[in-house]
Structure 1
Amino acid sequence: MTPPKRWLPALSALSSLSAFLARSSMTFIACLLAGCSTWQPPTGDAVTALRTRAETTSKQGVTLRAAVLSRADSDRMFGIDIQGTGVQPVWIEVENASARSMILLRTGTDPDYFSPLEVAWSVHSWFDRKTNARMDEWFNRQGFHNPIPAGATRSGVVFTNPSRGTKLLNVDLLGDQTLIAFTLFLSVPDDATHPDFSRKLFAYPPAAVTDHADLGSLRAALERLPCCATDAAGQGVGEPLNGIVVGEVADFSAAMIRRNYRRNQQDFDNAQRVFGRIPDAVLRKQAQAGAPATWIRVWLAPISYQGRPVYLLQVGRPVGGRFAAANGTQGAALLHGDVDEARNLMVQDCMYSEGLEKLAFVRGPTPVPLAQEQATFSGAHYHTDGRRAVMFFVLRPLSLSDIDILDWEPIVEGDAHARE
């Protein structure tokens, strides 16, 4: 018997709760086997190794160092394996040589970050309150603590949701009338030798990239880019390419983290090929109860604008939208036909990300009316007004009123419906 659709949100939430309880039960059993009741605070030095391999960057008198903890690092720092809890600890050190006191904004790093006491609770023993209290105190001590006074250095752990292969770390430091934004790409040590997660971001040799010095020539080049992806053989028609980003990948990625997008590349994403490649990266917006929402597949294009790279995007949503998770993987993989809606929702996310400098629309895929939907090699069908969103990103922060709307192609929501 198929449950009514109105039950799906509750069923999705129940499924997520069941998964959490299952993880907690496994953690509890592991704790029993490992002897959580005999847990003691570690006495070794866990920080020196992290500082040695940390990525480092400096800006406006502030130096940032950061590294993702491996399982061995976690054991040295916390005295217990916390990787099974679904949390990825990141060590961060801020050296503040500026004249201002600074505060690290954890929600800028991960809108769904975990507190130290949440993580400690996940490895508690059920029968030893004294040990649990010691764990709470120790985990809380290892967390990152604000503020960072002028001339001081602070370090600690921020507990984030996991990323595989490479973690894009966004760190926002707030001072008096000042925001210093950092973006780092951190290797995930436990994935370093895994074939599915060790792939580097694609880069063209400089001679293969055509740079455009003005907006007019850039617009013409953008309209000549491929309309759609293909299958691996280059024969089957794939999903439409309906978005473009102009700017550094760090600026775009950091902006999207603020809108709850995370890097998440699935096997079915790799069926879509552009320039003969699988996606260079895939971002997914996490919705309520962990359901999938908008996805953004990204390919570096062989063009640039005033030295800034250009990325071609495939923006879509699964059939069923945020209810797709309740229907299994097949629904979560199949493209919803209204790709313009997915594109427009993503544009609005970009507007609120505080990183969007300019917005325009150009001609892209062939317009497809609702009454004559285009089939893809994966079995999906879509309709579109045939326009691509072009988004120029810079370092944050920018307000909505700062966005420059370029007068290129007009856009009307529902235009593909109107052409039936």
Structure 2
Amino acid sequence: MTLDGVTVSVAVLTPAQARQRFGVDLDRHGVQAAWISVRNASPRGLWFIRNLLDPDFYSADEVASMVDGGVDAAEREALHQRLRDESIRVFMQPATVTEGHLFLPRAEGGRFFDLRLQGDAWDDELASAVAAGGAVAHPRELRFGFAVAMPDGEFDFEQLHPAKIYAGREMPDVDAGRLRGLLEALPCCTTDRGGASQGDPLNVVLVGEAGEVMNALTRAGWSFTHRITAHTVGREIAAALTGSAYDVAPVSSLYAFERSHDLALQRARRSIAQRNHMRLWLAPFLFEGRHVWLGQVSRDIGVKLTTKSPTLTTHVIDPEVDATREYLLHSLMAGHLVERFGFVRGSAAATREAPRRNLTDDPYFSDGMRLVVVLAKAPVPADAVRNLMWERSAAPIAEGQSAAARRNVRPIGVAAD
């Protein structure tokens, strides 16, 4: 990726590559090595702001101290020096190529790199003073974004092949009016495998190619998920019993378009019992030449044992599903990843007093709207995002409150009770 004469490349070493490179097992200590290359063909020196990529990065000597217990005493100082020498420098001289490694907490499935380079403040102020008679210019920031997938054989994205899903079938390319009609006509909810019972609401639509969807969501903090296998089910059960984290835990199979989800992502917390998760299905039509993805998003607030899931456990969803729908929109807008958005009818409407229930008997309520997001191909600031002007959604939170909450909102000038 190149900006203003500066080219940046990144890669994440596999555990085997890291062992070969550094002679120690970083993975056993929860450390990943990211290789970074910066070709600075600009006339300015640039600072690499590591904290903005990951504030929890490890220094070379910190990593060496973590792993040197398994190294012969005579080799420890050599290990410390080797990791220092392999580290990426933080200042990139002009007309140079600077390469090295940054040591990061281990992530599974993929990692988004928000890599930022800033001009040297001393040089920039000096140049500004000479050129503009004393005017001071703030250092300019160059921002590079990379979504790096890290397959391990168990992630569902590894089996995602959009071209095969509707192979041999024509996918019409529709305009905005036709898109609205198609989205309104889609089923309200996911189903079980046989299609006889309804599950969680289909409450989100994303427009973008598969790579754009995965890049945008990982940039917004979402992680890929494992498929359901004997190994991943074992990890999930262990995490549920201990209350520990499993950031890429599989999601159970729900069905739309007569198949299980094509892609799933989540934003995990420290406990497996709590996460936001999303399932996506490729729709059989295009919008403005781009793929359309129908999805289901909800927040998990607990875990329970059940015989209705092949994992023998299932998450309990937050009944306020519209709040999680809004969370998705806000997380994408915060990353300047939204070109247009709007709402369309078609999902499942229900009230707090008379909720609907999913396949594992969790209640939920909603205004019945689907969030539609056209992903941006380039960053779009929040004040430039356009609305599709189809429907207005009810404001989340308020729809889940009782009459007692009305006292919290009052006209200006009216005293509180």
Query: Which region of structure 1 is more displaced relative to structure 2, 375-384 or 195-204?
Result: 195-204
For residue 319 of structure 1, what is the aligned residue in structure 2? 301
More strand by share: 2
Contact 2:193 2:255 in 1 (8 A): yes
TM-score scaled to structure 2, two decimals? 0.71
- CA contact 2:220–2:335 (8 Å) conserved in 1: yes
Contact 1:245–1:310, Cα closer than 8 Å, also in 2 = yes
User: Relative to structure 1, is the Cα distance of residues 155 and 245 closer, same or farther in structure 2, using a 3 angstrom cutoff?
Assistant: same
Partner of 1:167: 110
- Rg bigger for which structure? 2
Partner of 1:202: 161
TM score, norm. by length of structure 1: 0.71
Larger helix proportion of the pair: 1
Structure 2 residue 351 is the aligned partner of structure 1 residue 407? no
Counterpart pick for 1:351 among 333, 336, 358 = 333
In structure 2, C-alpha distance between the alignment counterparts of 1:374 and 1:168, rounded to whole Å: 36
Measure how far apart 1:89 and its partner are.
Answer: 2.3
Q: Once the 2 structures are TM-superposed, how far is the Cα of residue 63 of structure 1 from its aligned partner?
A: 4.1
The verdict on how the C-alpha distance between 1:162 and 1:221 changes in structure 2, with shifts beyond 3 A counting, is farther
Q: Which moved more, 1:94-103 or 1:135-144?
A: 94-103
* Other-structure match for 1:68: 12
CA distance in 1, matches of 2:278, 2:377: 20
* Alpha-carbon distance change, 277 to 180 in structure 1, aligned in 2, over 3 angstroms: farther
8 Å CA contact 2:11, 2:148 repeated in 1: no
Q: CA offset at residue 383 of structure 1? A: 1.3
What is the CA–CA distance in structure 2 between the aligned matches of 1:113 and 1:243, rounded to whole Å?
A: 34
Which whole-Å CA distance do the structure 1 matches of 2:27 and 2:71 have between them? 22
- Per-residue CA deviation, residues 345-368 of structure 1 (Å, 9 max, x unaligned), is 222222211222222111121311
Aligned-partner Cα distance in 2 for 1:291–1:199? 25
CA distance in 2, matches of 1:248, 1:220: 21
Mapped to 2, the partners of 1:64 and 1:197 lie a distance apart of 29
SS at match of 2:178: helix
Alpha carbons of 1:144 and 1:401: their partners in 2 closer, same or farther (altered >3 Å)? same
Which sections of structure 2, spanning at least 5 residues, go unmatched? 120-139, 229-249, 305-310, 404-417
* Matched-pair contact (CA < 8 Å) for 1:102–1:174: yes
Q: Corresponding residue for 1:39?
A: none
For 2:107 and 2:171, how far apart are their aligned partners in 1?
A: 30
The amino acid of 1:146's aligned partner reads V
Partner of 1:377: 359
Indicate which of 145, 167, 187 corresponds to 1:226.
Answer: 187
- Does the 8 Å contact 2:154/2:227 carry over to 1? no
Q: Does 1:151 align with 2:95?
A: yes
- Which amino acid letter does the alignment assign opposite residue 113 of structure 2? N
CA RMSD of aligned residues (A): 3.5
Identity %: 27
> In structure 1, the residue corresponding to 2:162 is in which secondary structure?
coil
Match of 1:122 among 66, 78, 92: 66
Equivalent residue letter for 1:140: R
Match of 1:238 among 199, 216, 220: 199
Distance 1:158 1:126, change over 3 A: closer
Shift of 1:149: 3.7
Alignment of 1:275-314 (within 5 A): 275-287=257-269, 292-314=274-296
Residue in structure 2 matched with residue 391 of structure 1 by the alignment: 373
2:409 maps to: none
**Superposed displacement of residue 86, structure 1:** 2.3
Deviation by residue 1:252-281 (Cα, 9 ceiling, x = unmatched): 444444443222346462421222333333
Give a deviation string over 1:292-333, Cα, whole Å, max 9, x none.
33212222222222122222221111135xxx69xxx98872
Alpha-carbon contact 1:102-1:173 (below 8 Å) kept:
no
